[in-house]
Structure 1
Amino acid sequence: MNYHPVISGRFIKRLNRFVAEVEIDGKPELVHVKNTGRLKELLTAGARVYLEASANRGRKYACSLIAVEKDGALVNIDSQVPNAVVYDAILKGKIAELGNVDELKREVKYGKSRFDLMYIKDERRGFIEVKGVTLAKDGVAMFPDAPTTRGTKHVLELVQAVKEGYEGVILFLVQMQGCHTFTPHAAMDAPFAEALALAARSGVQLLAYDAEVTADSISIGKPIPVKL
């Protein structure tokens, strides 16, 4: 996944979930934030940030914040990109646990649910839920960074699909490098952590991969262990 064109700035403050103030070329500008999570550990005053400039002059905000520099490394915060990165990685056979699939579809409806991806492999069908991860502490990546009843619902729906004969995968894309482990953030959202443990016991495959991040790109990296 590539961004173009990309410019840099200094973070000033966040005004709400969708808008922040960033210093660009010495002037404060309002920009769109492509992530509604809290991001308190990342969006700190003075942090170097990277933004994608839009060619659409009719847009309310000319730039969208896509990455933040933390401790000398880049963290991609675009919540819209994980699905695309994982989709591309599966098509290229880069998710070793899945290998090469025969067919891959996005946004597939199942009952009252809609899963991020569905694959067909050797006549087996499986659903994949993708979660982007931007929170890390001492090399441990964690999700979520805010309570997510929607996320818990998705996990439980996937458990039900597995009970009905489908394969199920939850893949956490850690949108940075440098993490050695992924774990659910139970202190932030105990129901989600409990649902994830239930999913593991029910046959849902839990995967985590880090990502190679530059100022203007993000792509799949290497697998990291999941610890419940």
Structure 2
Amino acid sequence: MEFSPELKPARLVQRYKRFLADVITAEGEELTIHCANTGAMTGCGAPGDTLWYSTSDNRKRRYPHTWELTETAAGHRIGVNTGRANALLGEAIALNRIPALCGYENYRSEVRYGAENSRIDWLLSAENRANCYIEVKSVTLLQQQWGYFPDAVTLRGQKHIRELQAMTQQGHRAVLFFVVLHSGIDRVAPARHIDPRYAELILQAQQNGVEIMCYGTQLSPHGIRLDAPLPLFIS
């Protein structure tokens, strides 16, 4: 995934109201930009950190600029736009970069499914193969040398795991796919200390046939690329 045009740098002043951030550009201009991340974003942006933002050509947008990346004081790069995780996986599937997900003829995004009225991030299908339902989660929380998901209690995330389990019970294939958007994370675990129910559901889902995958990324102002698998520890 390439950024075109290339992202522009700025200094973070503050994030507020969840979806907004004030920044100062390299030219000294003060801007309010959109933050496409509904999570806690713990450790993903402190005042004074360098960030990179994209600019939309949609003139109807009130805030045309979007916060994409952060570089922390420790030198870590973090992708804070959670929507990029879905697009990265879609790109990788189309280019057959993930061996376990190759061989499907069709793939669609945001398809309604399940008894709890959910939308699956990716639905893969092919003749003479079970459908493959893929739920994508972005990992950005780094604590004590570990990457964790989620960074806050997530009832929505719990629902998604239940829906995936239901798909396996109906004979389909189901995958929970973690995209690590943090250059400092090299191993991942469910955040039992934050959302113990989510951690329990992941373990239950794995025992009931849900496949769980975890990949790192390469992050730069030029673009983001899905990289190699990372160790995932579930217990």
Identify the TM-score tier after normalising by the shorter chain.
Answer: over 0.9
Question: 1:19 aligns to what?
Answer: 20
Question: 2:152 aligns to what?
Answer: 146
In 1, Cα distance between the equivalents of 2:214 and 2:48? 30
Q: Is contact 1:175–1:210 with CA below 8 Å preserved after alignment?
A: yes
Q: Is contact 1:90–1:100 with CA below 8 Å preserved after alignment?
A: no
- Structure 2: state its 5+ residue gaps: none
Give the one of 214, 218, 221 matched to 1:212. Answer: 218
Correspondence 1:125-204 to 2 at 5 A = 125-204=131-210
Give secondary structure in 1 for the equivalent of 2:104: coil
Question: 1:2 aligns to what?
Answer: 2
Question: 2:71 aligns to what?
Answer: 69
CA deviation profile, 1:82-125 (whole Å, cap 9, x unmatched): 11110111121111222332322212222433211111255222
- Structure 1: state its 5+ residue gaps: none
In 2, Cα distance between the equivalents of 1:58 and 1:109? 28
Give secondary structure in 2 for the equivalent of 1:118: strand
Give secondary structure in 2 for the equivalent of 1:152: helix
Question: 2:94 aligns to what?
Answer: 91
Letter in 2 for 1:115: I
Letter in 2 for 1:18: F
In 2, Cα distance between the equivalents of 1:219 and 1:39? 21
Q: Is contact 1:142–1:183 with CA below 8 Å preserved after alignment?
A: yes
Q: Is contact 1:82–1:130 with CA below 8 Å preserved after alignment?
A: yes
Question: 1:113 aligns to what?
Answer: 118
CA deviation profile, 1:131-170 (whole Å, cap 9, x unmatched): 1111123442211111110010000111011011111100
Give secondary structure in 1 for the equivalent of 2:131: strand
Computed over aligned residues only, the root mean square deviation of the Cα atoms, in angstroms, reads 1.6
In 2, Cα distance between the equivalents of 1:152 and 1:187? 15
Q: Is contact 2:149–2:190 with CA below 8 Å preserved after alignment?
A: yes
Letter in 1 for 2:108: K
Letter in 2 for 1:116: D
Letter in 1 for 2:18: R
How far 1:27 moved relative to its partner? 3.1
In 1, Cα distance between the equivalents of 2:51 and 2:133? 34
Q: Is contact 2:192–2:198 with CA below 8 Å preserved after alignment?
A: yes
More strand per residue: 1
Give secondary structure in 1 for the equivalent of 2:138: strand
In 2, Cα distance between the equivalents of 1:57 and 1:99? 39
With the length of structure 2 as denominator, give the TM-score of the two structures: 0.91
Q: Is contact 2:176–2:213 with CA below 8 Å preserved after alignment?
A: yes
Give secondary structure in 2 for the equivalent of 1:177: coil
Letter in 1 for 2:197: P
Give secondary structure in 2 for the equivalent of 1:61: coil
CA deviation profile, 1:53-79 (whole Å, cap 9, x unmatched): 223344322311110002223211111
In 1, Cα distance between the equivalents of 2:222 and 2:40? 23
How far 1:178 moved relative to its partner? 3.9
With the length of structure 1 as denominator, give the TM-score of the two structures: 0.93
Q: How many residues align?
A: 228
